[in-house]
Amino acid sequence: GSIVEFIAGLPKAELHVHLEGTLEAELKFRLAARNAVDLPYADVDAMRASYVYHDLPSFLAIFYEGSFVLHREEDFRDLVYAYLEKVAGQNVVYAEMFFDPQQHTDRGIPFSVMIEGLTRGRIEAERDFGIRSQLIMCFVRERSAESAMAVFEMALPYKHLIVGLGLDSDEKDNPPEKFAEIFRRGREEGFRLTMHCDVDQKNTHEHIRQAIEEIGVERIDHGANLLDRPELIAMAGERGLFFTVCPYANEMMRPGERQSIARGMLDRGLRLTLNLDDPAYMEGKYINENMLMVHELAGFEREDLLTVTRNAFDAAWIDEDLRRELH
């Protein structure tokens, strides 16, 4: 069969997607109507045409504006359900999904509304499509440590519904150590830990070192600049860290990159996985298209795609029985 058929037929796991970044234009219009939110676009094509950005801050401005249509429990339910339905159709059997509570609590949405809607979407998608999923709560890193701690406290009554903690949004001048106390408490409370270390941010090598040595993450989301530093590569190898690489996001943020990040990690024996980031804002590319991109641009062959798929199931925050059942 063709490579396209091979990819489509693989049972897959995803570990790096921002739920707010899965909000496709059609659903955004429906939610805006439901909540009487005015959108400055005539139709979905005009909305999609407005998704023009050239770096992380210009991307984040569009991404945050999009989330303003989410108000009710059912909106959060519909968001998760639509994403899981879509990826189940690409033979994804397990997904870990980021959400950013501060985007919503800042707008006056109660934590309970958000988490209950997200959880209902997960349960209904498992019932209807058989797909398993878990939630990872991310802190918005340009906001204060106090703001992150406040949302951490709100999450504690729901910690059985949240598998891990992450850190996302604008990395520049917002190092991992800013959140050291929260991640220390998070570990004590039983959360698994990951963090974004994006491409070419200021002090990115020091951020990667802090994430590994001071925070003790099990994964790094992106982590590309580690490839510049042999000592960081060695540290990641010794500790068995996993990397969640997002091929299409890399292409959007750094046109012409040609998947040298994915290739570089594979060649150094690092345990990379392939993921989506924000598919609704990245030309609607989901996991099959991301896998095809590293095949076409970086020479990932079938055995390499099997390796990264195995890595994703090995990196998943699930117990060993479920791991065997899924993979």
Block residue for tokens 């150094």: 268
Tell whether residue 18 is among the known ligand binding residues: yes
Write out the binding residues for ligand ES4, residues 132-171 only, by CB under 6 A.
Answer: 168-169
Task: Answer with the entry of ligand ES4, Zn ion, none that 28 interacts with (C-beta below 5 to 8 A by kind).
Answer: none
Are 201 and 176 in contact by the 8 Å Cβ rule? The answer is no
Q: Does 277 bind ligand ES4 (CB under 6 A)?
A: yes
Minimum Å gap between C-beta 198 and ligand ES4 is 6
Residue from 240, 224, 304, 229 nearest 266 by CA: 304
Burial 77-114 (b: 16+ CB within 10 A, else e): bbbbbbbbebbbebebbbbbbbbbbbbbbeeebebebb
C-alpha separations of 99 from 13, 194, 323 in Å: 18, 13, 23
Sites for Zn ion among residues 53-72 (CB under 5 A): none
Closest approach, Cβ 320 to ligand ES4, in A, equals: 31
Residue carrying structure tokens 């899965």: 22
Closest to ligand ES4 by CB, 155 vs 318, is: 155
Residue 217 Cβ vs ligand ES4, minimum distance, rounded to whole Å: 15
Alpha helix segments (H runs only) across the chain? 3-9, 25-34, 44-49, 56-66, 73-88, 101-105, 111-129, 145-155, 180-188, 204-209, 230-239, 247-253, 260-267, 287-298, 302-315, 320-326
> Which residue bears the tokens 């909000």?
23
- For residue 73, state whether it binds Zn ion (rule: CB under 5 A): no
With contact defined as beta carbons under 8 Å apart, do 260 and 1 qualify? no
One of 198, 251, 289, 304 touching ligand ES4 (CB under 6 A): 198
In the complex with Zn ion, the residue whose CB is nearer, 97 or 125, is 97
278 in a labelled binding site: yes
Residue 96 within binding range of ligand ES4, rule CB under 6 A: no
Q: Is 14 in the site for ligand ES4 (CB under 6 A)?
A: no
- The gap from C-alpha 276 to its chain's centroid, in whole angstroms, comes to 7
Number of residues interacting with Zn ion: please give it, by CB under 5 A. 1
* 56 to 95: interface string for ligand ES4, x by CB under 6 A: x------x--------------------------------
- Name the minimum Å distance from CB 124 to Zn ion: 25
- 1, 83 contact by CB (below 8 A): no
Tell which one of 148, 249, 280, 298 touches ligand ES4 (CB under 6 A): 249
Q: Candidates 139-147, 148-156, 276-284, 318-326: pick the segment binding Zn ion (CB under 5 A).
A: 276-284
Contact between 266 and ligand ES4 per CB under 6 A = no
63 binds, among Zn ion, ligand ES4, none (CB under 5 to 8 A by kind): ligand ES4
Euclidean distance between CA atoms 152 and 166, whole angstroms: 11
The reply on whether position 265 binds ligand ES4 by CB under 6 A is: no
Alpha carbons within 13 A on the beta-carbon side of 146: 0
Q: Which residues bind Zn ion (CB under 5 A)?
A: 277
Could you list the residues that contact ligand ES4 (CB under 6 A)? 18, 21, 56, 63, 168-169, 196, 198, 249, 277-278
